[in-house]
Structure 1
């Protein structure tokens, strides 16, 4: 009697064969291609951060009154508020101001653009070096450059996860009631709305990690000359770690 998992096993095997053949082509293992892939992920991450800020601004239509950040503390104004100086001028400003929460969150999100610009290349380098170490411990024979190429292809699916995350946040906030009277209350409502999307986000992460596993296994087979079982185990260790981090 045929095994019920035989069709799935054949499908996975076919995907792994295609991944291995992909890395057996010289162009796929080009350093220039790898750098281009990292640049693509970097630009996409920056775009995703901007899109997340736009999601906050478009879905949160709420104003709250907060302490004016441009006005000095009250003690300073009591001591120097009457002076004909810059401090005195700033003390003439209102103590409390109304702020648009959506605009404030969009502005705050922009502070993370540097993460996209520098974080992606840094994580690529860390992943490549750790992957190379794992491959060599498993008996792999490829160069560190090969590991950097494999890592570059492996982070490419992160664009899909990023897009899914932005779409999920946009949907969650557009369907949630964000009407708190304070910044703290609104923050709690935003967190609750996003947490409600945890299951679909985790499912999207699982799919992306599975694709990355296929990519890494094929790369280790072709570039490091590992057998499929060993390559699968090395890639599986990274996949499990990635899934645990996504689930936190």
Structure 2
């Protein structure tokens, strides 16, 4: 398991973004990149040095400091869309090889390179800016239905990373809440929300609040409050 590329982006104009600019157009960095905790959402941006985020209300911050996407999933989309997708094409900071990103557990920790330790928090919810960036009709729906959203991660221990660095799973929690499950719970299968609570404080805080509110309204039984 390793990094195929470490990707950063500068702000560029976008008619699809609420702020009028976006940093989603990420390109592979030439040298090492320092990754640190950017601080709380709303004020902190990306965890990667040199990576810019425009909409701090919805993106960035400690619980979305880094975004990882598997090269294997990019390859599947290449076949689906019939066009090449370079590393960073989905706005991911880390393009990985051999890492089961979709099957990663919430709270799972990865050591990347010699020092950096990251913790999986959630899947990526697609937005209009993402669809506009790719120029694919109905993209938000298609990406959601595919159910392989990539993973957001928080920084546990900072460090420099570069192309070719090994990715090693150093902790797997004792529950079954994967990125795929938490993503479905937030999007197409909200009756799963009670189950994601098994991940506890490792959940992205917004999903934790959402799941608790769901349980309070509908209860924790299977199928409660189906929509």
Q: Same fold (TM over 0.5)?
A: no
* TM-score relative to the length of structure 1: 0.22
Q: Between Structure 1 and Structure 2, which shows a larger proportion of helix residues?
A: 1
Q: Between Structure 1 and Structure 2, which shows a larger proportion of strand residues?
A: 2
* TM-score relative to the length of structure 2: 0.23
Q: RCO higher in 1 or 2 (8 Å CA, sep ≥ 6)? A: 1
Structure with higher Rg: it is 1
